[in-house]
Amino acid sequence: MLSEQIISRLTKIVGAERLLLEAGELQHFGVDRTTIWRANPSAVVLPGTIEEVQQVVLLANECNLAIVPSGGRTGLSGGAVAKDGEIVVAMDRLNQMLDFNPIDRCVSLGAGVITAQLQDFAAERGLFYPVDFASTGSSQIGGNIATNAGGINVIRYGMTREWVIGLKVVNGAGEILNLNRGLVKNNTGYDFRHLFIGSEGTLGLICEATIQLTRPPAASTVLVLGIDNFPAILDVLRVFSAEIDLSAFEFFSQAALDKVTEHQGHVKPFETRTPFYALLEFETANESVLESAMALFETCVEEGWVLDGVLSQSLAQAKALWKLREDISETLWHWQPYKNDISVRVSRMPDFLREVDELVAGRYPDFEVIWYGHIGDGNLHLNILRPETLSNEEFVAKCGSVSAEIGQLLAKYEGSISAEHGVGLLKKDYLHYSRSPLEIKLMREIKKVFDPNLILNPGKLFD
């Protein structure tokens, strides 16, 4: 509970209508997509300017209040969960396009702009914002930057980090930093912008960003292949990427396809059932790319890697094929899945996957594990479905042990416990499998530089 005095000071900063205290509103703004923690913020504020954000942070420092920054709350690691009476600072009102420059091909915008809005804004000007993933309809740019969001085009365009050329943030001390100011080249010492990208709201609140846009791709074709075994997926990746610039190379298991076709009513790509499926996308500006793709498909069939396949003949078909992959995450919410988002170097994936499979099958035989992910960049989404016999608490506890064992394997394979979703609350206990004690110590010290009173998103990333 906040004191009357703090409530009145917050009201002065943002106005009575922008200070939310009702139980329903607290519930709404206090969680992300995770279902493990209960929302329990003490208040939600909706600032309308960077100066208002600054005032809230200064007040929090003065009165020792914790802040949870909040974007579209589509996160999957609990990074935006407010469970301990924190003040949620929601960026929804910082949702303006501020400046567009066609020569620099960049746009400055408020952190609360929805990702799809930015994509549309770019398209309307003959440009392209390439970071794309299933929740672009509700995720906000500020949250994407705070988690360095990845998605389905990373092999071609990189992660969010690649597209941020300027940032305005309020750090934990309540100071405003205007970082990099839209420059492409700027070698003037430490680039703080990159420290804030992916910092999960632990160093500052991202209020504005300048985003680089690019030329739109030519029309694309989607190819879905039925694959005989996991190592064969990598053979397919190798031969295709040797000849064609792929914009996506995704994979999913037969179990994932079954769930998505049964629950969403999507049509199967073809009748043959295969253990794994790969989805490839590439630009087809000219016929020769299609000819190469067909020839490569035949090679893959001859080698015995690929058992069946379908090539999109229209934009509508390409979109329908994408849905088989993109709707998996949404479909699996039905089972309250425990999510792992891990990466290893692509070349190590078959051995790693075999070891994880053996581990889960041997030690947790009642768990159904659904595999899918962005195989082209080494990122696997391993979703464990909750068996009906286990309560959510029992299930989460058991999955924690699985994560620790997978963490040990990741350490052996020099992989990452979080490829793209971030650490948040969900993975902080496993951070040490990917980062050395020295690195974690230095991260804590860096946090203190930007957030000396440790008021920003406490308990996220590390304790």
We find the least distance from the C-beta atom of residue 329 to ligand 2HG, in angstroms, to be 3
Please give the Cα distance from 114 to 382 (Å, whole number). 27
> Which residue lies nearer to ligand 2HG by CB, 156 or 339?
339
We find the least distance from the C-beta atom of residue 54 to ligand 2HG, in angstroms, to be 33
- Local structure of residue 387 (DSSP, 8 states): P
We find the least distance from the C-beta atom of residue 276 to ligand 2HG, in angstroms, to be 16
> Which residue lies nearer to ligand 2HG by CB, 130 or 166?
130
Question: Which of helix, strand or coil describes residue 83?
Answer: coil
> Which residue lies nearer to ligand 2HG by CB, 2 or 134?
134
We find the least distance from the C-beta atom of residue 337 to ligand 2HG, in angstroms, to be 7
Contact 371, 256 (CB under 8 A): yes
Candidates 70, 144, 329, 457: give the one binding ligand 2HG (CB under 6 A): 329
Q: Is 139 in the site for ligand 2HG (CB under 6 A)?
A: no
Please give the Cα distance from 143 to 206 (Å, whole number). 8
> Which residue lies nearer to ligand 2HG by CB, 29 or 371?
371
Please give the Cα distance from 39 to 143 (Å, whole number). 18
> Which residue lies nearer to ligand 2HG by CB, 42 or 383?
383
We find the least distance from the C-beta atom of residue 122 to ligand 2HG, in angstroms, to be 22
Contact 337, 370 (CB under 8 A): yes
- Local structure of residue 401 (DSSP, 8 states): H
Furthest-apart CA pair in the chain: how many Å?
75
What residues numbered 302-321 form the site for ligand 2HG, per CB under 6 A? none
We find the least distance from the C-beta atom of residue 3 to ligand 2HG, in angstroms, to be 40
Residue type, 100: F
- DSSP string across 116-136: HHHHHHHHHTT-B-----GGG
Candidates 76, 165, 206, 296: give the one binding ligand 2HG (CB under 6 A): 76
- Local structure of residue 351 (DSSP, 8 states): H
Residue reference for tokens 């998996």: 328
What residues numbered 357-416 form the site for ligand 2HG, per CB under 6 A? 381, 383
> Which residue lies nearer to ligand 2HG by CB, 193 or 381?
381
> Which residue lies nearer to ligand 2HG by CB, 381 or 398?
381
We find the least distance from the C-beta atom of residue 205 to ligand 2HG, in angstroms, to be 24
We find the least distance from the C-beta atom of residue 302 to ligand 2HG, in angstroms, to be 31
Q: Which two tokens stand for residue 342?
A: 């891990």
Contact 282, 244 (CB under 8 A): yes
Residue reference for tokens 């000819």: 291
> Which residue lies nearer to ligand 2HG by CB, 31 or 44?
31
- Local structure of residue 431 (DSSP, 8 states): G
We find the least distance from the C-beta atom of residue 407 to ligand 2HG, in angstroms, to be 17
Q: Is 417 in the site for ligand 2HG (CB under 6 A)?
A: no
Residues comprising the chain, all counted: 463
Q: Which two tokens stand for residue 87?
A: 């003040």
Q: Is 134 in the site for ligand 2HG (CB under 6 A)?
A: yes
Q: Is 343 in the site for ligand 2HG (CB under 6 A)?
A: no
- Local structure of residue 276 (DSSP, 8 states): E
We find the least distance from the C-beta atom of residue 341 to ligand 2HG, in angstroms, to be 6
Among residues 287, 318, 283, the alpha carbon closest in space to that of 130 is found at 283
Q: Is 339 in the site for ligand 2HG (CB under 6 A)?
A: yes
What residues numbered 240-299 form the site for ligand 2HG, per CB under 6 A? none
We find the least distance from the C-beta atom of residue 150 to ligand 2HG, in angstroms, to be 7
Residues that bind ligand 2HG (rule: CB under 6 A) add up to a total of: 8
Binding mask 93-132 for ligand 2HG (x = CB under 6 A): ----------------------------------------
Q: At what angle do helices 349-363 and 230-243 cross, to 10 degrees?
A: 160
We find the least distance from the C-beta atom of residue 356 to ligand 2HG, in angstroms, to be 15
- DSSP string across 299-346: HHHHTTSEEEEEE--SHHHHHHHHHHHHTHHHHHGGG-PEEEEEE--G
Contact 424, 417 (CB under 8 A): no
> Which residue lies nearer to ligand 2HG by CB, 121 or 157?
157
Contacts of 139 (CB under 8 A, 6+ apart): 71, 72, 74, 114, 115, 133, 149
Q: Which two tokens stand for residue 93?
A: 């009102």
> Which residue lies nearer to ligand 2HG by CB, 171 or 379?
379
> Which residue lies nearer to ligand 2HG by CB, 102 or 400?
400
> Which residue lies nearer to ligand 2HG by CB, 153 or 171?
153
Question: Which of helix, strand or coil describes residue 414?
Answer: coil
Residue nearest to ligand 2HG (CB): 329
Tell me the backbone φ, ψ of residue 341, rounded to 5 degrees: -135, 90
Interface with ligand 2HG (CB under 6 A): 76, 133-134, 329, 339, 341, 381, 383
